[in-house]
Homo-oligomer: A and B are copies of this chain.
């Protein structure tokens, strides 16, 4: 049925080993090489990657495991990772954990069976048992860090970036701010910490809310916030998805940004320049995150025993209309 390397060998009148050598670019007699290539053409031979992987023990496959590919941050990183991987002759398998540690563990097991070359992982917060799993492929963590110090990682300087947002709002004249932070990721925790510290340092009235992962949760918290007798003048959201939720809730409450409440957050998703006079955000270097993660992965494959490294990248504050001065405060100052 399917044409194999033996068929090619027969047509080219050489041994299967020689065909293999030609295909893997090792040195063979030019005349033979010619014959083999011609035979490959004429037979329409396509290598069987399963067989190749079994024998060679190289899967040429990496896995990218993230919370949810629909989060534009992960989408962007994934695109970069895929481009680089395919350019290097590597296949990419994509997995969504939905912030579920059990799913994460299941996928890591699966990748073990897949004998992947390596994994790029945005870990869930509770996935602490990962260390115990004894994975025999390198793992590079992205976005989330976790406390253990076992894997390479590339992360944003979350605390500093959150502080930058707080300081920006402070400069704009905001004195009462609230922040929404994802409870499921270490990223949320770190950004929250940066938020609280810098707010304290600036003497702001600040309230940090932990939002559990799930649809509608962030909206509800924002709605509660807005319906208070004395709502904050500015909100911070710890990622792009949550910023969207905040915008929706503000909208639904009949308020608008920045007139009724200012807004700032993380992730420079496409839509953000279009609403509320543009959303002020910390733009993450998504392309660089993907690139760095891939670079660390291949480097780790070459040097399995090297010490674990951590790359911390800076984000960029993009100030837009959403963080304008509060109306009342303005008046007082004028």
Contacts and interface: CB of A to CB of B under 8 A. Distances in A.
A78 B68 CA distance: 11
Interface residues of A, number: 46
B48 A113 contact: yes
B70 A96 contact: no
A299 to B, nearest CB: 23
Interface string A102-119: 000000011011110000
A83 B82 CA distance: 20
A113 B274 contact: no
Contacts of A94: 78, 82, 92, 94
B86 A79 contact: no
Interface stretch (A50-58, A140-148, A198-206, A217-225): A50-58
Contact of A53 (B50, B69, B86, B134): B50
Given A50-B50, A53-B50, A271-B270, A93 B95 contact: no
Contacts of A273: 248, 251
Interface string A29-70: 000000000000000101111110110000100000000111
A160 interface: no
Contacts of A2: 136
Contacts of A59: 50
Interface of A: 2, 44, 46-51, 53-54, 59, 68-70, 72, 75-76, 78-79, 82-83, 86, 91-96, 109-110, 112-115, 134, 136, 244, 247-248, 251, 269-271, 273-275
